[in-house]
Structure 1
Amino acid sequence: MKVRLKTKEDIERIREAGRILAECHREIAKLIGPGITTLEIDAFVESFLEKRGATAEQKGYHGFPFATCASINDVVCHGFPGNHKLVAGDIVTIDIVVGKNGWMADSGWSYRIGQVSEEAEKLLTNTEQALLAGIAEAVPGKKIGDIGYAVQRVAQAASIGIVKPLIGHGIGRAMHEAPDVPNFGRPRSGVTLQPGMVITIEPIFTGGDTGAVLWEDDGWTIRTADGSMGAHYEHTLAITEDGPLVLTNGQ
């Protein structure tokens, strides 16, 4: 699949969707806590986006039935929202793709529910740090492998697992475009980054050091094979002459 470079105008349109998405995550952070259900969060997100003339692009994507992916504790990705009430100590990842005027932005974020364990805090902190390390490598002339290597080094230093089948990707008119952006790699390998590329970087780590996962029978929900917790942090960003431009941080 060919990489589709975006114009500055295209990037601004993706950024518009990204601002809505960032605002949505800020509101989720206010709502989320012990006693709420992920189904209630899902309903809030769908209503929030509708009021802003935006759409939740996951809903209906290959039959996915919800506006968000809501992944609790050992679910690392693509979890279904449900009626189970969250309790203190949980980790919950809310992953959302927003569409606005034909352009998309994607961001997932892991939330602490009350006080979490020391192990969970280590996982969350390092996964977010890996996202920042990957973003720092997203400059013209670098390679996709440089991003993956930066993400990988954080996981290895912390002795936590990388979920290797789950990767970042290009995004724009479609939810998933070229290039793939793995969370591991070799420096100076892979596709060369150039201005106009828009990608997601999304480390998905596990508390256990293998990163091994299992798919459930629903075809979507992905759990850690060892029962450890999972964490997921994701931004959409553009490669520009001036460096990485994060499009889902509300700026």
Structure 2
Amino acid sequence: MRASLRTKEEIKRIREAGRILAACHREIRKLLAPGISTLEIDAFVESYLKKHKATPEQKGYRGFPYATCASVNDVVCHGFPDSRQLQAGDLVTIDIVVNKDGWLADSGWSYAVGSAGPAGQYLLDKTHEALYAGINKAAAGMRTGDIGHAVQTVVEHAGLGIVAPLVGHGIGRKLHEPPDVPSIGSPRTGTLLRPGMVITIEPVVTLGETGAVFWEEDGWTVRTADGSLGAQFEHTVAILEDGPQILTD
């Protein structure tokens, strides 16, 4: 399947979902403190989206039961919210997909509960840097391999690991649309980026150098194989004639 090319009006609709999502993340940042649980955050997100006449797209997606993916410490992706109280120093990633009037935006963000400590903060900083290195390559005429190469370069130079099986994707009407957007790659390879494409860029990075992970028996939860910390930063990005536009900032 080829990637959909969105009109300016359609991108505006995705942007509307993205604004709600970005505002929700800002509220989550205020809530995060030792003692809160990811289940409480999940309930807040569902209520927040309802107030803004939006819905959490991943709830019910392939049977996923929650409004958010909540991944703590060595869980790098697709974690289930639970009642465990977060502790100072924990890293938590909250990943949300907002559906506003049938248009979707997707953004995951990693947060420190209190202080992350030197190693945790280094992981957060470099993962954030890798995201924006990828976004800077998301221009018409470039390819998905250019994005992946930019992300990979930052991560590997930092001595960190990339979780290669977890990739970005097209988005708009459906949660996962073509093309895949890997966080590794070679320049000038992969899908050609064209004006009107809307994609997610979402490096998942580990403090351990290998980036090796395993899936738990629930079929969703992804953990680091070596027990090291993980982080993820993700934006939904539109490819425009004059460069990339972040729709979830």
TM-score, length of structure 2 as denominator length: 0.99
Secondary structure of the structure 2 residue equivalent to 1:85: coil
Question: How far 1:191 moved relative to its partner?
Answer: 1.0
Q: Which amino acid aligns with 1:132?
A: Y
Cα distance in 2, alignment partners of residues 108 and 19 from structure 1 = 14
Task: State yes or no: 1:56 paired with 2:56.
Answer: yes
Structure 2 match to 1:191? 191
Structure 2 match to 1:163? 163
1:198-217 alignment runs, 5 A limit: 198-217=198-217
Structure 1 match to 2:247? 247
Structure 1 match to 2:227? 227
Cα distance in 2, alignment partners of residues 103 and 63 from structure 1 = 20
Task: State yes or no: 1:117 paired with 2:117.
Answer: yes
Cα distance in 2, alignment partners of residues 196 and 115 from structure 1 = 40
Question: How far 1:188 moved relative to its partner?
Answer: 0.7
Secondary structure of the structure 1 residue equivalent to 2:99: strand
**Structure 2 unaligned runs (5+)?**
none
Task: State yes or no: 1:83 paired with 2:58.
Answer: no
Q: Which amino acid aligns with 1:23?
A: A
Structure 2 match to 1:16? 16
Question: How far 1:190 moved relative to its partner?
Answer: 1.0
Q: Which amino acid aligns with 2:84?
A: H
Task: State yes or no: 1:146 paired with 2:146.
Answer: yes
Secondary structure of the structure 2 residue equivalent to 1:134: helix
> Identity rate of aligned residues, in percent?
66
Cα distance in 2, alignment partners of residues 33 and 2 from structure 1 = 43
Cα distance in 1, alignment partners of residues 165 and 221 from structure 2 = 13
Secondary structure of the structure 1 residue equivalent to 2:27: helix
Structure 1 match to 2:135? 135
Question: How far 1:117 moved relative to its partner?
Answer: 2.0
Cα distance in 2, alignment partners of residues 105 and 127 from structure 1 = 20
1:185-212 C-alpha deviation (Å, 9 max, x unpaired):
0001111111000000001000000000
1:158-197 C-alpha deviation (Å, 9 max, x unpaired):
1100000000000000000000000000001111111000
Secondary structure of the structure 2 residue equivalent to 1:122: helix
Cα distance in 2, alignment partners of residues 238 and 33 from structure 1 = 33
1:6-64 C-alpha deviation (Å, 9 max, x unpaired):
00011000000000000000000000111100000000000000011100001000000
Question: How far 1:118 moved relative to its partner?
Answer: 1.1
TM-score, length of structure 1 as denominator length: 0.99
Question: How far 1:106 moved relative to its partner?
Answer: 0.0
Aligned-residue CA RMSD in angstroms?
Answer: 0.5
Cα distance in 2, alignment partners of residues 152 and 125 from structure 1 = 15
Q: Which amino acid aligns with 1:233?
A: F
Runs of 4+ aligned structure 1 residues displaced above 4 Å come to none
Secondary structure of the structure 2 residue equivalent to 1:98: strand
Structure 1 match to 2:73? 73
